[in-house]
Amino acid sequence: MPLSCSQLSVLYGRRKALNGFSLSMEPGEIRALIGPNGSGKSTALQALAGLIAPAEGRAEIEGVAAASMSRRAIAKKLAFLPQQPTAPDEMTIAQLVRQGRFPHVGLFRSYGRKDEEAIEWALESTGLTSLADRTLQELSGGERQRAWISAALAQEAGILLLDEPTSFLDIGYQVEVLDLVHRLSRERGVTIVMAIHDINQAIAVSDRISLLEKGELRFDGEPRALAESGLIEQTFRVKGRFVEVAPDKPPHFDVELTKLS
Ligand SMILES: Nc1ncnc2c1ncn2[C@@H]1O[C@H](COP(=O)(O)OP(=O)(O)OP(=O)(O)O)[C@@H](O)[C@H]1O
Ligand SMILES: [Mg+2]
């Protein structure tokens, strides 16, 4: 199993942000992590990436406890795009994406052809080839977001953790990123966990969905089962209904904008 965790709990001070969270990923699976603001999605991703030590339970990368692995060892297997990544403003896209290759090239070794190809592919996949020499401060929010996605891709890890990769993106690029996620999974067998707010995008792109509420796992299963559970309305405290769009496609959640009517 490429990635799993069992009974993971994370404390910030005395407050439990994640309580007994479990997840097991099949190779090449796409998992959407959904839940209200503050429900523990980013915390869960950081714990899966081995960036926060859990108070209880453990995360495993290819069967090895993440807590026992070095950063570099983890980075060879897993790429993580945080919700709010930071880098110096004067860094260029090309530099940022090159940095994504860091776990492969080592401290003093130079970049080989395979590294250059990975960088080129990462830039191209995010539509950034022509912007590669721009600095991060010269980019729009969406371009910056794509630069970070590109850096994560250049890492060419078998596991990709994405924290709201489509926030800031216009609808065209949202679809493009989701399409890219789908292709990475299906064509390259990349295992992907992605925190995402758009329920319909989550349902459309993922094989399975984990729904968090106040740090607790409320649902773990296929999109259609989630649609049938009634949990979306309950958890997000909205009114709405699932509408069938096509027989071979999962239904679409149509939220009622009650306060606007
Ligand atoms: N570094 C931190 N120190 C203390 N509390 C934190 C820290 N990071 C997150 N929290 C708290 O932990 C809980 C879970 O936060 P988390 O960022 O995991 O939520 P989330 O589901 O990713 O939310 P969002 O949808 O807003 O990104 C929240 O109550 C948050 O206030
Ligand atoms: Mg978050």
Which pLDDT tens digit goes with each residue over 91-131?
999 999 999 988 888 666 788 899 999 999 999 999 999 99
| Owning domain of residue 200 | 3-84+158-260
- Distance from residue 39's CA to the centre of ligand 1 (Å): 7
Give the residue from 221, 190, 223 showing the smallest Cα distance to 205: 223
Residue 180 lies in a domain: yes
Domain containing residue 42: CATH number: 3.40.50.300
* 89 found inside a domain: no
Residue 212 lies in a domain: yes
For residue 114, being part of any structural domain is answered with no
**Tell me, what's the pLDDT at 106?**
66
Interval between CA 110 and ligand 1 midpoint (Å): 39
103 lines ligand 1 (CB under 6 A): no
Whether 69 is covered by a domain: the verdict is: yes
Token pair listed for 180: 């890219």
Q: Is the CB of 125 under 6 A from ligand 1?
A: no
Question: Quick check: is 104 in a domain?
Answer: no
* 215 falls within a domain: yes
> Residue 46 — pLDDT band, cuts 50, 70, 90?
very high
- Indicate whether 27 pLDDT > 90: yes
- Per residue in 65-100, pLDDT (tens digit) is 999 999 989 999 999 999 999 999 999 999 999 999
Cα–Cα distance list, 32 to 96, 187, 204, 207, 225 (Å):
26, 19, 10, 8, 14
The closest residue, in CA terms, to atom 29 on ligand 1 is 38
Domain count, the chain: 1
